[in-house]
């Protein structure tokens, strides 16, 4: 089954959700290579996460990347190294072990880099969510419908948009966990 994508963007204030762009995987690779150069051997792996990582799914035009370090001991060093790039540093805004950097506004597609230690729960949930959407295009399509609806209903307020997705995301993560337990 293929995601039946609407070919128009939806925008309200600063929030825009655009149709899937086939260039997003290449944009991820470009940023991944930049991260590897900046962090060297302290980065274990970089994961393309979020909606831009799901073929056919609409998304905000921002490439989300989780960078998993070999050790939590390397977080301060990684933060220092990434501060030297042209990204804005946001700290650990949700106190969940995800140190955040973003490209300046107006860059499209922009990127949002999250640096974390191995086995960080937020990172693991993001991987479960992404992989479930890959495996279940009908769920990904429903997520796309929800996101478009929330852009309009939020009136451009990020908190309303983000909180409106939380129950859907939590449900998908729980289904993905349950499915993984059954396979194990």
User: 53 in a domain, yes or no?
Assistant: yes
Q: Is the pLDDT score of 52 beyond 80?
A: yes
User: 34 in a domain, yes or no?
Assistant: yes
User: 95 in a domain, yes or no?
Assistant: yes
Number of domains in the chain: 1
Residue 27 is part of a domain; what is its CATH number? 3.30.460.10
pTM of the model: 0.91
The Cβ of residue 73 has, within 10 Å, a number of other Cβ atoms equal to: 10
User: 119 in a domain, yes or no?
Assistant: yes
By three-state DSSP, how is residue 56 classified? coil
Looking at residue 104, what DSSP letter applies?
P
User: 63 in a domain, yes or no?
Assistant: yes
User: 2 in a domain, yes or no?
Assistant: no
User: 184 in a domain, yes or no?
Assistant: no
pLDDT tens sequence across 160-172:
999 999 999 999 9
| Structural domain boundaries, residue 32 | 10-179
């Amino acid at each position: 089954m293929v995601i039946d994508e609407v070919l128009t963007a939806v925008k309200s204030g600063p929030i825009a959700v655009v149709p899937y762009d086939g260039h997003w995987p290449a944009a991820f690779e470009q940023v991944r290579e930049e991260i590897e150069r900046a962090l060297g051997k302290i980065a274990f792996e970089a994961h393309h996460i979020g909606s831009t990582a799901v073929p056919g799914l609409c998304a905000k035009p921002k490439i989300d990347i989780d960078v998993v370090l070999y050790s939590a001991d390397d977080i301060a060093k990684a933060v220092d190294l990434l501060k030297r790039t042209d990204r804005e540093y946001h700290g650990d805004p949700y106190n969940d072990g995800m140190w955040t950097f973003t490209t300046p506004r107006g860059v499209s597609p922009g990127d949002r880099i999250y640096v974390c230690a191995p086995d960080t729960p937020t990172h693991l949930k993001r991987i479960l969510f992404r992989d479930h959407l890959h495996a279940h295009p009908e769920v990904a399509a429903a997520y796309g419908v929800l996101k478009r609806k929330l852009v309009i209903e939020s009136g451009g307020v990020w908190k309303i948009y983000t909180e409106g997705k939380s129950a859907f995301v939590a449900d998908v993560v729980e289904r993905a966990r349950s499915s993984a337990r059954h396979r194990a």
